[in-house]
């Protein structure tokens, strides 16, 4: 029983006893079993890549996409929020990240062959980013797929960069030398020094969706979005507004000049075949403009 377990554990040493309570034991077991399921899942092809269109604020046409991983396990489609943290802790993020990179590059190559010039972003987690092999892997993937360099964007976060800024600068530089591009993801939620924006070879900022969500209700959020946009314009960085869900949000953003829009209003992340269908249709994915249409109705 619990008391006995605790007693025995305590005898094993001060620093260990907490791991032997039945509750934590069960938790640890769940984690270990989920981890081995994920490991097997990666090996057995249970990962899927979905693609969320990124569109131009003016035309609504597809400009690129973000690749987002899902895990199809026992008939369920599991969101990355539920397994990326585990993958990071366990080190499985390295094989997972490699699969994502290879699969994304394969799609990008297919679009290239079909005559589309799209930018495709993939998310990097800090563990991958400090991996010595990342530059080599990226080179190998380019060679294996024949993808023209400059099509892939790596999405990185402020906290990832700030952890080890010198090393980050080094890896970014090495990737950039071979065509890698970079978006700073979830921008505004971290605590990076603005000076780093100048020091790092960034191509764009993705405004975190928490600011977009509150555009209508909160003057501070509007002010923050405006500040980020003008900062990006000054530094000649592209801007992607994340999580755009309403025509009101879109109207506000369109009023600030050209940018890129990503969000359910344009499209949720979709499987590759669906994305390709949207691409072939070539239609605007945005509703007609409400406020920013200079030509009127
Ligand atoms: P993220 O990179 O910020 O990706 C954007 C997330 O916002 C996606 O969630 C997307 O489905 C969601 N989203 C897009 N538009 C809207 C909208 O209009 N409203 C709302 N409410 N949500 C929207 P998802 O796919 O669940 O991914 C969550 C996070 O998991 C990502 O955040 C990213 O940090 C991480 N992730 C996803 N795929 C990968 C991957 O391949 N590798 C790594 N390391 N991380 C990944
Ligand atoms: Mg992202
Ligand atoms: Mg994001
Ligand atoms: Mg986000």
Please tell me the residue having the least CA distance from ligand 1 atom 22.
Answer: 243
Cβ neighbours, 10 Å, residue 199: 13
Nearest ligand by distance to the CA of 153: 2
Q: Which residues pair with 204 in a beta bridge?
A: 183, 238
Q: Which residues pair with 241 in a beta bridge?
A: 207, 261
206 close to 263: Cβ distance less than 8 angstroms: no
**d(CA 208, ligand 3 centre) in Å:** 6
What's the start-to-end Cα distance of the chain, in Å? Answer: 74
**d(CA 255, ligand 4 centre) in Å:** 23
Question: CA separation (Å) from 235 to 58, 200, 261, 271?
Answer: 21, 11, 19, 34
Any ligand 1 atom below 6 A from CB of 98: no
Average pLDDT over residues 129-145: 91
Distance separating alpha carbons of residues 201 and 196, to the nearest angstrom: 9
Check residue 80 and report its DSSP letter: G
With CA atoms as reference, report the closest residue to 201 among 236, 231, 233, 229.
Answer: 236
Taking the CA atoms of the chain, what radius of gyration do you get in angstroms? Answer: 22
12 close to 6: Cβ distance less than 8 angstroms: no
Distance separating alpha carbons of residues 99 and 50, to the nearest angstrom: 13
Nearest ligand by distance to the CA of 209: 4
Confidence class for position 192, pLDDT limits 50, 70, 90: low
231 close to 187: Cβ distance less than 8 angstroms: no
Q: Average per-residue pLDDT in the chain?
A: 89
Any ligand 1 atom below 6 A from CB of 121: no
Percent of the chain at pLDDT > 90 equals 73
CA atoms within 13 A on the CB side of 258: 10
- No. of helices (H) and no. of strands (E), the chain: 13, 10
Ligand 1 atom nearest 50 alpha carbon: 25
ipTM value: 0.98
Confidence class for position 19, pLDDT limits 50, 70, 90: low
Q: What is the pLDDT of residues 261-290, one digit of tens each?
A: 999 999 999 999 999 999 999 999 999 875
Any ligand 1 atom below 6 A from CB of 80: yes
Distance separating alpha carbons of residues 159 and 157, to the nearest angstrom: 6
Instruction: Note the maximum CA span of the chain.
Output: 79
Percent of the chain at pLDDT > 70 equals 90
**d(CA 111, ligand 3 centre) in Å:** 23
Distance separating alpha carbons of residues 215 and 218, to the nearest angstrom: 6
């Amino acid at each position: 029983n619990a008391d006995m377990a605790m007693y025995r554990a305590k005898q094993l040493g001060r620093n260990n006893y907490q791991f032997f309570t039945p509750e934590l034991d069960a938790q640890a077991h769940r984690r270990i079993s989920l981890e081995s399921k994920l490991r097997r899942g990666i090996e057995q092809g249970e990962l899927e890549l979905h693609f969320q269109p990124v569109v131009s604020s003016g035309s609504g046409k597809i400009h690129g996409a973000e690749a987002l991983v899902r895990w199809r396990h026992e008939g369920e489609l599991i969101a990355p929020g539920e397994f990326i943290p585990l993958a990071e802790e366990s080190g499985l993020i390295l094989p997972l990240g490699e699969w994502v990179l290879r699969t994304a590059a394969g799609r990008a190559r297919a679009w290239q062959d079909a005559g589309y010039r799209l930018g495709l972003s993939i998310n990097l987690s800090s563990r991958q980013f400090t991996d010595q092999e990342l530059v080599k892997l990226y080179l190998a993937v380019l060679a294996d797929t024949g993808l023209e360099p400059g099509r892939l964007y790596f999405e990185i976060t402020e906290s990832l960069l700030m952890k080890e800024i010198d090393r980050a600068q080094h890896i970014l530089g090495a990737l950039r030398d071979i065509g890698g591009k970079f978006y700073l993801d979830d921008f505004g939620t971290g605590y990076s020094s603005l000076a780093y924006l100048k020091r790092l070879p960034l191509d764009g900022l993705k405004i975190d969706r928490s600011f977009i969500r509150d555009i209508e209700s909160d003057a501070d959020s509007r002010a923050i979005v405006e500040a980020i946009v003008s900062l990006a314009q000054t530094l000649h960085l592209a801007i992607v507004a994340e999580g755009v869900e309403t025509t009101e949000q879109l109207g506000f953003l369109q009023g600030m000049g050209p940018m890129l829009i990503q969000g359910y209003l344009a499209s949720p992340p979709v499987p590759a075949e669906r994305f390709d269908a949207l691409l072939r249709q070539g239609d605007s994915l945005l509703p007609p403009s409400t406020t920013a249409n200079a030509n009127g109705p």
